[in-house]
């Protein structure tokens, strides 16, 4: 039996076998007596990375799945999100968010070492898992059955990211990585950026200029010529309107306009990782121990992601071809410290810094209804987006047990009723930021030959918003803390753990977006508009009054919002083992939830004070949290859970367990979904608007799982699950236009999800006598999920085409299969890994338009590892060998396809320590 924190202790122990495995035998295998073979196999095979999690699964009172650090290493996944897609019933969306058992990301919560952490994602309250590099992970735990010591916001499952702990002894390692992508091996797009781009940080080149910020304050949020003229004359200064226009044009020249694209030769991927740590024992009795681990990593890669988008009604005539190049820079820093006293007391700290920056340059050309080839017209868009995401987290946690060592040192604690009493606590302070110092779109028009489609000329569009600049700032802050208390009790044929606890989390979010436009509608400017952005938007052209360039404010005024959320919970739980045959666990969690989200306009000014009425995102969101929470929504409820496990040895396998579980949980709207703020989704370019009054979604969960574990290491699992959801929150298309897609959120009437999961590991050495000894190092593992969902939309007033359909993001099947090889001396291993999912609903259609589906993506990867010495290791990863691509389909038409390419990656690691 274990509490929710015990998984961390067990996870730290997982890699012990694998540290020793490559060192156990380095000689090539030679025929030998059977007993010698069995001995070498027992210590040398790296396949045990798939079986060492068995004990952890057995200890859990509810349905749970685990991935150890070595399993992640075997599949070669570079981020947490990519690793999680290998688990039963888990699919990955946008390489960032996971869907567990067919439920969207809102139904999956994420913890970091059992603590809440904020999200740097602009449009979601949940944590994007692609920001976590796999090298910081000790284990991943996905709890699919609810227990009352977990947060009540639980639908498909809870992901707990357990970071690397302090080592058992001295460790020092350096790893160098390089790679190549088939779509990115030649040239790509680039532009003049900042001096710190290679560090994943903007040096101010792209930022909102200080001159414009000062002008916004001076002219009370209106920097148009009319606004400048009115503000100056209102303040007593007598200026002519043409002087105000000149000031406006001068402000426009402070924008970053050196954005002409250049062709760049894309080099190979590059990465570096270093780790250093040790554990020291203090004193003659060595009752005290202290440990430390530090890890630094850096990565830089370029990717071409070409995309084709088609209009479903006229795909051959209305389409766009996009050439897109992304430079991704990642940086990670981890410092972990641990202090222990005997086996009873331990305090650990974890400090984590993550940076994940993507710099996109894309060029889109094509035709729409307004830019038809027959008329000799085409559109051309130049897009630049620099997004810097960072996560900082500082955690401290402790575990204290009144054990034998403590009782001997403190005699008054040596009481039978105190023996085994365990107290665990934690405190976490985290912040996540997303900074988009400049997101630029420049719209141009091509002149084309109607017969051949050849482009004969290009000019910037004659419109006031030909150049659109967005400046975005997001800060998410989370503080959480709590404790658990557990007392074991022993009776004849009955062992009981009685536990309870309390936790609290507080989140504050500020999201500020400023949008500016630059362009001209003047007929006299037509000659200077011909050419590329860098040649058109020059100081000379902008400052010339005859060209009538003007700087304006875009958007609709409510793209920004402030939000806050608090969750306070407490629970009681009873976990009993009867006759070593039955285990029954049950309890209830009480949770009080408060949430508010308010749309704001950063350009709204108090006319009497002459200053903005909106606080800054970074400084004042936390201070205003309590004021926000007094404004909107509160609820509290009780969430019960009951599970039972039947254990029977030698029922087909040496160990057999049959689990049952039932619970009630909830899914809640995101912070921005309950606000009527309108903002731009960076992925779809759609305008997204929240809806006040969204209700929470109560969920009833039922789970049944049968598990067979064999002494040989083989295992087989069958799981059945069913979920009933009231008032599920769905994303739906609202009224809009072809060029202005509008998305909102609704409470549907009800939804159900029912499914079957299969999971297995089979060593093939049992077939050695019949097939040949060559098959003994091989094994097969994998999982399959088959599920069905049904959503009843009800009367939501949006004229959705399908009133009864599958839930968004749901796949009817998910498959992960691995064929693995471990040499008998542990020096060589390889895995062939296949992953796929069934088509899933991407977007619900309305007004008769059919739904849009994401087509299956078939991923086949090959990973080979070689340990020539105990210090040196090589790893080769070949990914997406089938060269599949991302596709969206509507009404039988592929409306979007995007290349991914094949990737080859080489890792060289030199382990200088343990």
| Segment 632-671, tens digit of pLDDT | 688 999 999 999 999 999 999 999 999 999 999 999 888 7
Residues facing residue 811 across a β-bridge: 840
Please, which residues have CB within 8 angstroms of residue 757's CB and are 6 or more apart in sequence? 88, 89, 717, 718, 719, 720, 721, 783, 784, 785
* Token code pair at residue 851: 């739904």
- In the structure, what pLDDT confidence band is assigned to residue 840 with cuts at 50, 70 and 90? confident
pLDDT at 730: 82
pLDDT at 331: 94
Nearest CA to 579 among 645, 641, 650? 645
Q: How many CA atoms lie within 13 A of 599 on its CB side?
A: 16
Alpha helices in 621-659 (DSSP H): 625-629
Inter-CA distances, 61 with 145, 580, 709, 898, Å: 9, 14, 16, 43
SS3 for 229-288 is: HHHHHHCCCCCCHHHHHHHHHHHHCCCCCCCCCEEEECCCEEEEEEEEEEEEEECCCCCE
Alpha helices in 103-240 (DSSP H): 210-218, 225-234
- In the structure, what pLDDT confidence band is assigned to residue 432 with cuts at 50, 70 and 90? very high
- Number of Cβ atoms within 10 Å of the Cβ of 583: 19
* Token code pair at residue 421: 């009493």
pLDDT at 93 over 80: no
| Segment 415-424 mean pLDDT | 94
- Specify the 3-state DSSP secondary structure of 662: strand
Q: What is the pTM of this model?
A: 0.87
Mean of all residue pLDDT scores within the chain? 85
* Token code pair at residue 678: 């309108």
Residue with tokens 């779109």: 441
- Specify the 3-state DSSP secondary structure of 613: coil
* Token code pair at residue 781: 């593992």
Q: How far is CA 758 from the centre of its chain?
A: 26
Contact in structure between 725 and 696 (CB atoms under 8 Å): no
SS3 for 737-783 is: ECCECEEEEEECCEEEEEEEEEEEEEEHHHHHHHHCHHHCCEEEEEE
Residues facing residue 277 across a β-bridge: 171, 293
Residue with tokens 């709590």: 482
Rounded to 5 degrees, φ, ψ at 193 are -105, -145
Q: What does the alpha-carbon distance between residue 447 and residue 455 come to, in Å, rounded to a whole number?
A: 6
| Segment 819-833 mean pLDDT | 88
Q: What does the alpha-carbon distance between residue 568 and residue 507 come to, in Å, rounded to a whole number?
A: 12
| Segment 350-369 mean pLDDT | 94
Q: What does the alpha-carbon distance between residue 721 and residue 705 come to, in Å, rounded to a whole number?
A: 8
- Specify the 3-state DSSP secondary structure of 870: coil
Contact in structure between 752 and 789 (CB atoms under 8 Å): yes
**Greatest CA span in the chain, whole angstroms?**
103
pLDDT at 810 over 80: yes
Rounded to 5 degrees, φ, ψ at 32 are -155, 170
| Segment 167-178 mean pLDDT | 90
Q: What does the alpha-carbon distance between residue 513 and residue 892 come to, in Å, rounded to a whole number?
A: 38
Contact in structure between 777 and 812 (CB atoms under 8 Å): no
Q: What does the alpha-carbon distance between residue 670 and residue 798 come to, in Å, rounded to a whole number?
A: 21
pLDDT at 610: 46
Query: What size, in residues, is the chain?
Result: 914
Contact in structure between 278 and 167 (CB atoms under 8 Å): yes
Helices (H) and strands (E) in the chain, counts: 15, 44
Burial class (CB in 10 A: 0-12, 13-18, 19+), 528: buried
Per-position DSSP letters for 393-419, written without gaps between them: EEEEEEEEE--HHHHHHSGGG--GGGT
pLDDT at 621: 43
| Segment 393-409 mean pLDDT | 94
| Segment 830-846 mean pLDDT | 86
**What is residue 127's DSSP assignment?**
P
Rounded to 5 degrees, φ, ψ at 872 are -110, 140
Contact in structure between 3 and 585 (CB atoms under 8 Å): no
Q: What does the alpha-carbon distance between residue 914 and residue 912 come to, in Å, rounded to a whole number?
A: 7
| Segment 875-883 mean pLDDT | 93
Indicate the helix (H) or strand (E) that contains 382.
strand 377-401
Please, which residues have CB within 8 angstroms of residue 798's CB and are 6 or more apart in sequence? 732, 733, 734, 744, 746, 846
Q: At what angle do helices 16-24 and 34-44 cross, to 10 degrees?
A: 130
Tell me the pLDDT tens digit for each residue of 509-551. Answer: 888 888 999 999 999 999 999 999 999 999 999 999 999 999 9
Lowest mean pLDDT among 264-268, 367-371, 609-613: 609-613
Please, which residues have CB within 8 angstroms of residue 652's CB and are 6 or more apart in sequence? 708
Q: What does the alpha-carbon distance between residue 137 and residue 165 come to, in Å, rounded to a whole number?
A: 9
Q: What does the alpha-carbon distance between residue 115 and residue 301 come to, in Å, rounded to a whole number?
A: 31
Comparing 636 with 169, which gets the higher pLDDT? 636
Please, which residues have CB within 8 angstroms of residue 499's CB and are 6 or more apart in sequence? 3, 149, 484, 485, 486, 487, 572, 573, 574, 575
Highest mean pLDDT among 79-88, 325-334, 735-744, 845-854: 325-334
Indicate the helix (H) or strand (E) that contains 634.
strand 633-647
Alpha helices in 746-851 (DSSP H): 768-771
Residue with tokens 């009795």: 285
pLDDT at 303 over 70: yes
SS3 for 447-513 is: EECCCCCCEEEEEECCCCCCEEEEEEEEEEEEEEEEEEEEEEEEECCEEEEEEEEEEEEEEEEEEEE
Q: What does the alpha-carbon distance between residue 820 and residue 830 come to, in Å, rounded to a whole number?
A: 6
557 conformational bin, left if phi > 0, alpha if psi -120 to 50, beta if neither: left
pLDDT at 87: 79
Lowest mean pLDDT among 56-60, 159-163, 323-327, 424-428: 56-60
- Number of Cβ atoms within 10 Å of the Cβ of 203: 13
pLDDT at 554 over 80: no
- Number of Cβ atoms within 10 Å of the Cβ of 524: 12
| Segment 388-404 mean pLDDT | 94
pLDDT at 556: 63
Q: What does the alpha-carbon distance between residue 709 and residue 77 come to, in Å, rounded to a whole number?
A: 27
Residue with tokens 């190979």: 268
| Segment 567-576 mean pLDDT | 97
pLDDT at 841: 85
Q: How far is CA 164 from the centre of its chain?
A: 19
Indicate the helix (H) or strand (E) that contains 533.
helix 533-536
- In the structure, what pLDDT confidence band is assigned to residue 631 with cuts at 50, 70 and 90? low
- Number of Cβ atoms within 10 Å of the Cβ of 601: 18
Residue with tokens 């200890």: 59
Q: What does the alpha-carbon distance between residue 890 and residue 910 come to, in Å, rounded to a whole number?
A: 50
pLDDT at 622 over 70: no
pLDDT at 108: 80
pLDDT at 770: 87
């Amino acid at each position: 039996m274990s509490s929710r924190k015990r998984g961390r202790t067990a996870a730290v122990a997982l890699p012990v076998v694998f540290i020793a495995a490559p060192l156990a035998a380095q000689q090539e295998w030679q025929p030998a007596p059977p007993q010698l073979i069995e001995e070498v196999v027992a210590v040398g095979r790296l396949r045990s990375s798939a079986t060492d999690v068995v004990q952890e699964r057995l200890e859990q009172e509810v349905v749970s799945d685990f991935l150890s650090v070595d399993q992640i290493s075997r599949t070669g996944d570079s981020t947490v999100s990519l690793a999680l897609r290998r688990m039963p019933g888990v699919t990955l969306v946008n390489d960032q968010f996971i869907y567990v058992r067919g439920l969207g990301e809102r139904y999956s919560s994420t913890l970091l070492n059992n603590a809440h952490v904020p999200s740097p994602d602009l449009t979601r309250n949940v944590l994007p898992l692609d920001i976590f590099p796999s090298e910081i992970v000790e284990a991943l735990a996905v709890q699919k059955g609810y227990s009352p010591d977990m947060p009540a916001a639980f639908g498909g499952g809870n992901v707990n990211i357990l970071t690397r702990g302090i080592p058992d002894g001295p460790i020092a390692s350096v790893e160098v990585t390089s790679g190549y992508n088939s779509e990115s091996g030649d040239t790509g797009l680039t532009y003049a950026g900042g001096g710190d781009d290679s560090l994943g940080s903007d040096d101010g080149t792209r930022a909102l200029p200080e001159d414009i910020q000062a002008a916004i304050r001076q002219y009370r949020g209106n920097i148009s010529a009319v606004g400048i003229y009115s503000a100056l004359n209102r303040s007593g200064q007598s200026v002519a309107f043409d002087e105000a226009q000149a000031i406006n044009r001068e402000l426009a020249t402070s924008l970053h306009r050196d954005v002409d694209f250049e062709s760049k030769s894309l080099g190979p991927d590059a990465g570096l990782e270093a780790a250093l740590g040790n554990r020291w024992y203090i004193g003659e009795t060595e009752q005290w121990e202290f440990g430390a681990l530090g890890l630094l990593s850096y990565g830089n890669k370029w990717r071409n992601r070409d995309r084709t988008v088609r209009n479903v009604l006229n795909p051959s005539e209305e389409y766009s071809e996009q050439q897109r190049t992304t430079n991704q820079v990642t940086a990670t820093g981890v410092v972990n410290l641990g202090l222990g006293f005997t086996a009873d007391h331990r305090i650990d700290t974890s400090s984590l810094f993550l940076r994940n920056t993507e710099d996109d340059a894309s060029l889109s050309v094509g035709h729409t209804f307004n830019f038809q080839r027959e008329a000799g017209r085409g559109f051309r868009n130049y897009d630049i987006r620099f997004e810097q995401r960072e996560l900082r987290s500082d955690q401290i946690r402790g575990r204290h047990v009144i054990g034998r060592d403590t009782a001997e040192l403190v005699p008054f604690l040596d009481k039978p009723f105190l023996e085994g009493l365990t107290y665990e606590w934690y405190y976490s302070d985290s912040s996540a930021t997303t900074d988009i110092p400049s997101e630029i779109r420049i719209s141009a028009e091509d002149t084309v030959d109607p017969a051949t489609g050849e482009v004969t000329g290009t000019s910037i569009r004659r419109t006031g918003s030909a150049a659109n600049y967005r400046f975005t700032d997001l800060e998410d802050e989370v503080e959480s803390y709590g404790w658990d208390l557990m007392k074991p009790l022993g009776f004849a044929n009955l062992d009981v753990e009685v536990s309870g606890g309390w936790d609290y989390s507080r989140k504050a979010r500020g999201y500020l977006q400023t949008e500016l436009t630059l362009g001209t509608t003047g007929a006299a400017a037509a000659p200077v508009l011909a050419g590329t952005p860098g040649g058109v938007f020059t100081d000379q052209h902008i400052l010339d009054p005859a060209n009538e360039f003007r700087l304006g404010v875009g958007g609709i005024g409510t793209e920004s919002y402030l939000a806050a959320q608090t969750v306070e919970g407490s629970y009681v739980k009873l976990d009993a083992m009867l006759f070593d045959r039955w285990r029954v666990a049950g309890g209830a969690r009480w949770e009080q939830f408060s949430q508010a989200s308010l749309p704001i306009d950063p350009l709204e000014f108090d006319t009497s004070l002459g200053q903005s009425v909106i606080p800054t995102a970074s400084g004042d969101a936390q201070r205003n949290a309590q004021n926000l929470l007094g404004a909107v929504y509160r609820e509290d409820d009780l969430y019960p859970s009951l599970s039972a496990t039947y254990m029977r040895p030698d029922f087909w396998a040496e160990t057999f367990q049959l689990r049952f579980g039932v619970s009630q949980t909830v899914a809640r709207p995101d912070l921005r979904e309950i606000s009527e703020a309108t903002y731009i989704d960076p992925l779809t370019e759609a305008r997204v608007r929240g809806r006040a009054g969204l209700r929470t979604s109560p969920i009833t969960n039922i789970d049944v799982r049968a598990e067979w574990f064999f002494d040989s290491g083989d295992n087989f699992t069958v799981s059945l699950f069913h979920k009933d959801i009231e008032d599920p929150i769905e994303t739906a298309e609202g009224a809009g236009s072809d060029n202005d897609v509008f998305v909102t959120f609704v409470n549907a009437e009800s939804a159900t999800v029912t499914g079957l999961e299969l999971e297995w590991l089979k060593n093939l050495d049992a077939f050695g006598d019949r097939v040949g000894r060559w098959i003994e190092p091989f094994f097969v593992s994998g999982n399959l999920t088959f599920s069905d969902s049904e959503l009843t939309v009800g009367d939501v007033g949006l004229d959705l085409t399908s009133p009864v359909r599958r839930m968004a993001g749901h796949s009817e099947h998910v498959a992960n299969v691995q064929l693995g090889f471990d040499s008998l001396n542990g020096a060589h291993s390889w895995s062939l890994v296949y992953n796929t999912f069934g088509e899933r609903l991407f977007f619900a259609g309305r007004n008769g338009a059919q739904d849009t589906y994401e087509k299956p993506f078939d991923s086949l990867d090959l990973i080979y590892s070689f340990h020539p010495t105990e210090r040196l290791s090589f790893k080769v990863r070949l990914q997406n060998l089938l060269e599949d691509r991302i596709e969206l389909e509507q009404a039988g038409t592929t409306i979007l396809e995007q290349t991914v390419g094949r990737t080859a990656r080489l890792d060289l690691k030199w382990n200088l320590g343990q």
